[in-house]
A and B are shown apart, each in its own frame.
Chain A
């Protein structure tokens, strides 16, 4: 058994942590959140230059990583700093779909993406689909050699910044995916900021005409690729939440040591010490859950391990976010204090690709199978 990171991953972690500590201060991040774009093009370029995007792809895909632990290392650091830039959506999810399903032309996009020149968004979920990957009502109609899309996509993260949307639709036989350049006639966006930073949009598709070359992968066969990519996204989300939980715990520990009430640091009160102890225990459990999810990503245990990790992280994350706020008291409720953003990131992770209950249910189903 060896739970140490490889030398390369350790280097990546150190570099990224140092970069974000110096460059992605609370003030910088809050300015980015308040900005119209909701992300910083400059930071994005710098992340690409550091190799953060490349680390999410294997060598034959043009990167230098791509395994579960590469994902975990990158996203833990992004989570630690509360980064709102859409590394998950552009690189891991959409980049993953392009490498998995793309033809030569489409795979060209990955190269641009790794260089930092491109943004992408997955337009998949719909108003009624909650977390169910298979619930898609957007339809395609074949019009001669053209494809016509109609439907509505919900909470499409990074849609406004995206140069291309990857849109899912139902046709005979199952789910299909299409690469749709932004500005294509019939595509309209209603954009908005999200509570935990970043932006999303409702995407309306009204008679969107696409050439056959827009198709990503074989018609009606996209679901299993989508599941594989969302599995990777779930590893990323678990790791990101873990990083954010580390920050929340560290801030809380520091606060307990410095904040005085009734003439002594509040960390000397046993009632608070025991709760801090519980947080630290849950942090270790959360770390193990992320290791499991990352380590079993390419095995037949993938889905069960991921359901398990997301359920545990959902529970531990809620505990850590709520207790960190409670142990701080009022100051944690203020927008300008670091913890407010971090706590929101942790809790809102639960709303992407399945919440605690969803993954519990999935775990039960997979255990019974």
Chain B
């Protein structure tokens, strides 16, 4: 049993730190630290910086231009990025679609799409969820009907994250309506500029626009955009979902969030003393920190198994549930720390040439609290994850 990183891992961490120190633009980390959004240009810029370093695709094999890091290295990288307030890497092309193409795509598809993901030429978004099919993904209804050398796609996708920036979407579509639910689904790559596609914004409760509805009306998709075999899309979708689960515990985000809460609670005064010295507030901060310390080790235990090739199964669900509970608790503490200055609408409080409203840390905290309610809903809600855990434990797998 050795709880610390090996000398190689420490050397790797130092390399990552030095890189972030030298290459992460300060104006970018300032925006992330203040709870702001980068927009497409900012994401593209960070994407290009990482690509130049060869670190854009940590999970890809070297033959496709990836860094081929093991799970511990990826974890170290993610933790350091979170601590430095680096932008989140937009995962749709890099860590969702690419593994599917690498395993199931044709040589032509690999040669065409993978370099364009690295270069940033294509921005992918995800067409999985539908209004009637949330955590019950297999009940999706969007149809694709073969017509000569095209599919004709009709239907609606929803919760399409950053779809407003995307020029391509990977979609699950129903190609055999007669088949059982999980059969008869295919995996299609669709150019967002095809006639018949409409992207409509969904404004979230904190006023942000990060998700969209995507509507398909008689959209013609060439058959060569089918990945793998027709009606076998569920297999690829499941494969994709296991890859979506990297950094599922979000330890780095929680650690950064907790540090922010402590900074705020030092600055805020409660009856003349720093809020952090208030026993009730301090107790709540301590509780979540204790949970986070243990989860950080739980996370490393699972990662070190994964690094030697043991794929995480039900443990991923456990990390999802506990990790989101901890992150949401930290968001709640941040909101409370801000006191009455949590009330202004965030964009007003942070932006504009006007005099700022309240301390700079207070503006976004309530909006973040509300926005991060999504953490326990998306990617398979916590109820679904608990179901998986219970089923595995109680039914013996």
* Chain A residues at the B interface, C-beta cutoff of 8 Å: 125, 127-128, 130-132, 135, 154-155, 190, 192-196, 200, 202, 260-263, 269, 271-272, 318, 322, 325-326, 329-330, 332-336, 340-341, 343-344, 347-348, 350-352, 355-357, 360-361
CB atoms of A348 and B342 under 8 A apart: yes
Given contacts A333-B374, A335-B204, A348-B342, list 18 more A-B pairs with CB under 8 A. A125-B340, A130-B268, A130-B340, A131-B340, A154-B340, A154-B358, A192-B349, A192-B357, A195-B207, A195-B342, A202-B357, A322-B373, A333-B204, A334-B202, A334-B204, A335-B207, A347-B369, A351-B366
Q: What is the CB-to-nearest-CB distance from B319 to chain A, in angstroms, rounded to a whole number?
A: 18
Of the stretches B42-50, B163-171, B382-390, the one at the interface is B382-390
| Complex CA distance for A262 and B181, rounded to whole angstroms | 10
Residue in B closest to A201 when the chains form the complex, CB atoms: B357
Most B-side CB within 10 Å, residue of A125, A128, A195, A355: A195
CB atoms of B343 and A200 under 8 A apart: yes
Interface status of B395 (Cβ within 8 A of chain A): no
CB atoms of A357 and B280 under 8 A apart: yes
Please provide the chain B residues from 237 to 296 with a CB less than 8 Å away from any CB of chain A in the complex. 268-271, 278, 280-281, 284
* Chain B residues at the A interface, C-beta cutoff of 8 Å: 129, 132, 134-136, 139, 158-159, 202-207, 268-271, 278, 280-281, 284, 328, 332, 335-336, 338-346, 348-349, 354-355, 357-358, 366-367, 369-371, 373-374, 376-378, 381-383, 386-387
| Complex CA distance for A361 and B271, rounded to whole angstroms | 12
Q: Lowest 9 CB-CB distances: which A-B pairs, in order?
A: A340-B205, A261-B136, A192-B348, A335-B203, A130-B339, A193-B345, A357-B280, A155-B340, A194-B343
| Complex CA distance for A193 and B338, rounded to whole angstroms | 17
Q: What is the CB-to-nearest-CB distance from A11 to chain B, in angstroms, rounded to a whole number?
A: 34
Partner of B340 from A263, A344, A347, A351 at Cβ < 8 Å: A351
CB atoms of A325 and B373 under 8 A apart: yes
Q: What is the CB-to-nearest-CB distance from B359 to chain A, in angstroms, rounded to a whole number?
A: 8
| Complex CA distance for A340 and B355, rounded to whole angstroms | 29
CB atoms of B381 and A329 under 8 A apart: yes
17 pairs, A vs B, C-beta closer than 8 Å: A130-B269, A155-B341, A192-B348, A195-B343, A202-B357, A260-B132, A262-B139, A263-B139, A271-B383, A333-B204, A335-B203, A347-B335, A350-B336, A351-B342, A351-B366, A356-B336, A357-B281
CB atoms of B280 and A361 under 8 A apart: yes
| Complex CA distance for A352 and B336, rounded to whole angstroms | 11
List, in ascending order, chain A residues with CB within 8 A of B159's CB.
330
| Complex CA distance for A54 and B383, rounded to whole angstroms | 47
| Complex CA distance for A234 and B101, rounded to whole angstroms | 58
| Complex CA distance for A325 and B328, rounded to whole angstroms | 13
List, in ascending order, chain B residues with CB within 8 A of A361's CB.
278, 280
Residue in B closest to A127 when the chains form the complex, CB atoms: B358
Q: What is the CB-to-nearest-CB distance from A258 to chain B, in angstroms, rounded to a whole number?
A: 12
CB atoms of A190 and B343 under 8 A apart: no
Q: What is the CB-to-nearest-CB distance from B336 to chain A, in angstroms, rounded to a whole number?
A: 6
CB atoms of B284 and A343 under 8 A apart: no
| Complex CA distance for A138 and B249, rounded to whole angstroms | 47
CB atoms of B340 and A352 under 8 A apart: yes
List, in ascending order, chain B residues with CB within 8 A of A322's CB.
328, 373
Known: A195-B206, A357-B281. A330 touches B387 (CB 8 A): no
| Complex CA distance for A343 and B367, rounded to whole angstroms | 12
List, in ascending order, chain A residues with CB within 8 A of B278's CB.
357, 361
CB atoms of B374 and A351 under 8 A apart: no
Q: What is the CB-to-nearest-CB distance from A249 to chain B, in angstroms, rounded to a whole number?
A: 17
List, in ascending order, chain A residues with CB within 8 A of B134's CB.
261, 329-330
| Complex CA distance for A340 and B335, rounded to whole angstroms | 17
CB atoms of A262 and B357 under 8 A apart: no
CB atoms of A355 and B377 under 8 A apart: no
Q: What is the CB-to-nearest-CB distance from A343 to chain B, in angstroms, rounded to a whole number?
A: 7
CB atoms of B376 and A326 under 8 A apart: yes
List, in ascending order, chain B residues with CB within 8 A of A330's CB.
129, 134, 158-159, 374, 377-378
Residue in B closest to A353 when the chains form the complex, CB atoms: B340
CB atoms of A195 and B344 under 8 A apart: yes
CB atoms of B377 and A333 under 8 A apart: yes
CB atoms of A262 and B354 under 8 A apart: no
Q: What is the CB-to-nearest-CB distance from B384 to chain A, in angstroms, rounded to a whole number?
A: 9
Residue in B closest to A192 when the chains form the complex, CB atoms: B348
List, in ascending order, chain B residues with CB within 8 A of A196's CB.
343
CB atoms of A335 and B357 under 8 A apart: no
List, in ascending order, chain A residues with CB within 8 A of B377's CB.
325-326, 329-330, 333
Residue in A closest to B349 when the chains form the complex, CB atoms: A192
List, in ascending order, chain A residues with CB within 8 A of B381's CB.
326, 329
CB atoms of A132 and B205 under 8 A apart: no
List, in ascending order, chain B residues with CB within 8 A of A318's CB.
332
Q: What is the CB-to-nearest-CB distance from B55 to chain A, in angstroms, rounded to a whole number?
A: 32
Q: What is the CB-to-nearest-CB distance from B289 to chain A, in angstroms, rounded to a whole number?
A: 17
Known: A128-B269, A193-B345. A261 touches B135 (CB 8 A): yes
List, in ascending order, chain B residues with CB within 8 A of A193's CB.
344-345, 348
Known: A130-B270, A195-B367, A343-B205. A357 touches B336 (CB 8 A): yes
List, in ascending order, chain A residues with CB within 8 A of B369's CB.
347
List, in ascending order, chain B residues with CB within 8 A of A272's CB.
383
CB atoms of A333 and B357 under 8 A apart: no
List, in ascending order, chain A residues with CB within 8 A of B338's CB.
351
CB atoms of B374 and A326 under 8 A apart: no
List, in ascending order, chain B residues with CB within 8 A of A334's CB.
202-205
| Complex CA distance for A192 and B139, rounded to whole angstroms | 44
| Complex CA distance for A261 and B132, rounded to whole angstroms | 8
CB atoms of B136 and A202 under 8 A apart: no
List, in ascending order, chain B residues with CB within 8 A of A125's CB.
340
| Complex CA distance for A193 and B357, rounded to whole angstroms | 11
Partner of B373 from A333, A341, A350, A360 at Cβ < 8 Å: A333
Residue in B closest to A155 when the chains form the complex, CB atoms: B340
List, in ascending order, chain A residues with CB within 8 A of B203's CB.
334-336
List, in ascending order, chain A residues with CB within 8 A of B332's CB.
318
Q: What is the CB-to-nearest-CB distance from B234 to chain A, in angstroms, rounded to a whole number?
A: 15
List, in ascending order, chain B residues with CB within 8 A of A260's CB.
132
Residue in A closest to B284 when the chains form the complex, CB atoms: A357
| Complex CA distance for A196 and B159, rounded to whole angstroms | 23
Q: What is the CB-to-nearest-CB distance from A267 to chain B, in angstroms, rounded to a whole number?
A: 13
